[in-house]
């Protein structure tokens, strides 16, 4: 499995969870943990020390003459992101995140700064004995704790409670896993308000190869739409499409790969305004010393 395929899988598996504003992957399940490790090992083996994401805008099939540098990721010697930079439309640094890791090579802190190195906010992570996320602590630009997210596990269920700085429950989430087959696939997620009333539900369906096929979204008990996922013969994701409650296409994202099977282009299209965003991903490898 190639670098960016793993990146997509990790995003699909954890993006719906209340891991607020995280810019690196943190494991909630054993499947997440294995995917993160494989991605890290691949980056290290390929000697990749920098990746860049560029954005091209397309309107009515006309490509903008300007390309925008969206972000850069600098990797450490273990193949992990150590600095993530974000740029404005003039390619000037807008903000950056520094990531620190523990002895198990899992992120234990993300610190976000403005271009002049002023603290914006940050996140600290704690893990259980199985190296799965157990606590997330969010702090502001004064290094004051503003919320704490606690994860607890029971058999095939993960319970996530989000508390404010006064330890008052803000909301909660429940993740139900399929552990019967040993795949640790996520079957359902529920988001609850502070009164334990359900406000959102997501149901996940997989194909015979255990690849995510469909994600259906409900809000306040009513379906608001679903996402459909398509893969190529090699098992790489090539398209995800979002449909509304009456099955009208709202938006889609396509994924293209280079000759080595690594993702090098992401195309996002919104149907209503006929706008398309094309993200180009470049990888730079370390030059061996002579």
Q: Would you give the DSSP letter of residue 13?
A: H
Query: Which pLDDT does position 151 carry in this prediction?
Result: 95
Query: Which pLDDT does position 12 carry in this prediction?
Result: 43
* Cα–Cα dist 282/227, whole Å: 28
128: Cβ contacts below 8 Å, ≥ 6 apart: 134, 153
* Cα–Cα dist 129/120, whole Å: 31
Query: Cα–Cα distances in Å, from 97 out to 33, 68, 125?
Result: 22, 19, 15
Query: Which pLDDT does position 178 carry in this prediction?
Result: 84
Radius of gyration of the chain (CA): 20
pLDDT in tens, the chain (290 residues): 344 444 444 344 434 444 556 788 899 888 889 889 988 998 898 888 999 999 998 876 677 767 899 999 999 999 999 999 999 989 999 999 999 999 999 999 999 999 999 999 999 999 999 999 999 999 999 999 999 999 999 888 999 999 999 999 999 999 999 866 666 889 999 999 888 888 999 999 998 888 899 999 999 889 999 999 999 988 889 999 999 999 999 999 999 988 777 788 999 999 888 789 999 999 888 655 44
* Cα–Cα dist 3/240, whole Å: 19
The helix, strand and coil proportions of the chain, stated in percent and rounded to the nearest 5, come to 10, 55, 35
* Cα–Cα dist 260/280, whole Å: 16
Query: Which pLDDT does position 20 carry in this prediction?
Result: 54
Q: Where are the domains of the chain?
A: 3-285
**Top-tier CATH class for 3-285:** mainly beta
Query: Which pLDDT does position 180 carry in this prediction?
Result: 60
**Rounded to two decimals, what is the model's pTM?**
0.85
């Amino acid at each position: 499995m190639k670098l960016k395929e793993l990146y997509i899988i990790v995003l699909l598996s954890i993006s719906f969870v209340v891991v607020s504003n995280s810019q690196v992957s943190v494991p909630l399940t054993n499947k997440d943990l294995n995917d993160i490790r494989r991605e890290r090992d691949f980056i290290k083996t390929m000697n990749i020390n920098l990746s860049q994401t560029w954005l091209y805008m397309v309107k009515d099939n006309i490509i903008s003459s300007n390309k925008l540098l969206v972000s850069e990721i600098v990797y450490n010697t273990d193949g992990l992101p150590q600095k993530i930079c974000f740029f404005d439309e003039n390619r000037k640094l807008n903000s950056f995140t520094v990531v620190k890791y523990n002895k198990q090579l899992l992120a234990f802190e993300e610190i976000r700064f403005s271009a002049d190195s002023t603290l914006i906010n940050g996140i600290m992570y704690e893990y259980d004995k199985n190296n799965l996320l157990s606590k997330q602590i969010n702090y502001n630009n004064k290094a004051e704790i503003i919320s704490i997210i606690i994860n607890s596990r029971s058999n095939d269920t993960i319970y996530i409670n989000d508390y404010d700085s006064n330890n008052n429950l803000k909301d909660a989430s429940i993740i139900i896993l399929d552990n019967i087959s040993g795949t640790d696939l996520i079957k359902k997620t529920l988001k609850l308000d502070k009164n334990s009333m359900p406000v959102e539900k997501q149901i996940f369906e997989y194909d015979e190869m255990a690849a995510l096929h469909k994600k259906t979204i409900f809000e306040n008990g009513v379906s608001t739409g679903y996402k459909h996922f398509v893969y190529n013969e090699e098992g790489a994701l090539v398209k995800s499409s979002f449909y509304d409650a009456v099955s009208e296409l709202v938006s889609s994202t396509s994924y293209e790969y280079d000759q080595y099977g690594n993702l090098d282009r992401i195309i996002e299209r919104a149907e209503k305004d006929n706008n398309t965003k094309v993200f180009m991903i470049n990888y730079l490898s370390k030059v061996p010393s002579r």
